[in-house]
Amino acid sequence: MLLKLLALCLFTFLIYIPIAEARIRHYKWEVKYEYKSPDCYKKLVTTINGKSPGPTILAQEGDTVIVEVTNKLLLENLAIHWHGIRQTGTPWSDGTEGVTQCPVVPGDTFKYEFKVDRVRLYGSIRVSVPDNFTEPFAYDYDRSIILTDWYHKSTYEQATGLSSIPFVWVGEPQSLLIQGKGKFNCSSASLTADTCNTTNPECSPYAITVIPGKTYRLRVASLTALSALSFQIEGHNMTVVEADGHYVEPFVVKNLFIYSGETYSVLIKADQDPSRNYWMTTNVVSRPPNTTQGLGFLNYYPNHPRRSPPTVPPTGPIWNDTAPRLAQSLAIKAHHDFIVTPPTTSDRAIVFLNTQNRINGYVHWSVNNVSFTLPHTPYLIALKKKLHHVFSQTPPPEGYDFVNYDIYVSKNPNATTSNAIYRLGFNTTVDIILQNANTMKANDSETHPWHLHGHDFWVLGYGEGKFDMNKDPKNYNLVNPIMKNTVPLHPYGWTALRFKADNPGAWLFHCHIEAHFYMGMGVVFEEGINKVGELPSSIMGCGETKGFGKP
């Protein structure tokens, strides 16, 4: 459920309302299962106050947001992570089970409280700019689009297969959803109309209505469990202006490549023939596609929003062509008026080799040949309470055999598991180099979107092949690197990041593909734990924290 709720939290929207001073914004949520048919196939869906995607939160810079979450899932624990919110001063509200809190058990209510501490645009979680702030681009209207992949099997079925011998992969998603709507081919299986009904209005194509001649800002977020996606609008170019809450030097794309956990803002001009509607499409890239493309409409007013375009939906880009995806990554630079200059050097450099391995016959994903596991007692509590025995104190490896390891060869050494963490000096500058390699399948290297909690980082560079510690850092972009919180690692390539360890707490850094994280693809950083304030008793109650905080 941690993995599922990681995505669920991003369905929240924080939207601007003009106010003169900061205030407290209080919400109550009930999380439960309901039957929904987002792609025409009826299944149990996790909802917040009966909605999926979830409800809207209104907030502005400086506001304090309080969300009381009641778990009505009956049989499952939950935790809600606020993707993109740094949680400065409130690391216990990061919502990461096993890292910053014990889970919220069925029937219990948990209060998340955090401050929106700076002007940011978090894509699907949106925090407004102040009245006197001018953005570096103009538009008439603002819309949001959430892209997701959709599975018909439950999380339990998927997790059982991943944890089995023989290994059972989750497979490709059954559908792609645009703003919670898709269309599964009900005739492809022996399904009754009660189970799968293409006339159900729940799965009618999502439509964005535009006024001819106007410019629209589309905030596009990917909340996929597995898929890397392309997104395009028939007949319209898109100008990329923001990524993960930071303004970028504008550039034009036909296809926007977007990875799980990423957010972008693009501008489109409604300047095409207004007598018809146009397709919005999303397609799987970086994996052999076995999922029908997701479809929606760009509805030119006054055409009916359900009027189908007269054309065939445009095809997506070639799924295994890495070059245009790498080119987009390299094109993302900080806007010239909003450059945050990174430190010129780092205090520490850690290389993370991403591999697929076996441990006692089970398939795992590993970092430097170590597959990550979570302890029963959350790290934040264990560190603050000095419960050092609850997780391994052996430092995890900071690299691999750079000289002899061949990233292009399918290797299957037996890896190990560990719940050890990386201890970072407070306020030090840390470089992370993500290195991709071959999976256990010959000639196969997967895309991995990595997400860091509690921080934004500078993206210093991308490259193909094996990272060279002596040569490649000389080519880092230290002039106008973009800051992000989620970044792709391309097949057989490397990605270099730099961040300041200036946010006291314990923070997860992980592949945002749910199955990969479940199988061990993640690490935890600790920094400035002695500066963390008194922990609320509400985050305790599991592992060795049972009874903590009680009179």
What's the pLDDT tens digit per position in 500-551? Answer: 999 999 999 999 999 999 999 999 999 999 999 999 999 999 999 987 755 4
* Per-residue confidence (pLDDT) for residue 127, from 0 to 100: 67
Residue 530: DSSP 8-state: G
In whole angstroms, what is the distance from residue 269 CA to residue 247 CA?
A: 19
* Per-residue confidence (pLDDT) for residue 343, from 0 to 100: 98
Q: Mean pLDDT in the chain?
A: 92
The tokens describing 257, both together, are 């490549």
User: Which residues have CB under 8 Å from 181's CB, separation 6+?
Assistant: 38, 39, 202, 203, 204, 205, 206, 296
Vertex 538: Cα angle to 537 and 542 (nearest 5): 90
Mean of pLDDT values over 196-203: 94
Residue 21 — very low, low, confident or very high, per pLDDT cuts 50/70/90?
low
Question: Does pLDDT of 113 surpass 70?
Answer: yes
Mean of pLDDT values over 203-219: 97
Question: Does pLDDT of 120 surpass 60?
Answer: no
Residue 36 — very low, low, confident or very high, per pLDDT cuts 50/70/90?
very high
What's the pLDDT tens digit per position in 151-181? Answer: 999 999 999 999 999 999 999 999 999 999 9
Give me the residues paired with residue 371 across strands.
417
Give the global pTM: 0.95
When computed from its CA atoms, the radius of gyration of the chain, rounded to whole angstroms, is 23
User: Which residues have CB under 8 Å from 390's CB, separation 6+?
Assistant: 375, 376, 377, 382, 543, 544
Residue 125 — very low, low, confident or very high, per pLDDT cuts 50/70/90?
low
What's the pLDDT tens digit per position in 212-254? Answer: 999 999 999 999 999 999 999 999 999 999 999 899 999 999 9
**Beta pairing class for 429-435 and 348-359:** parallel
* Per-residue confidence (pLDDT) for residue 130, from 0 to 100: 67
Question: Does pLDDT of 25 surpass 60?
Answer: yes
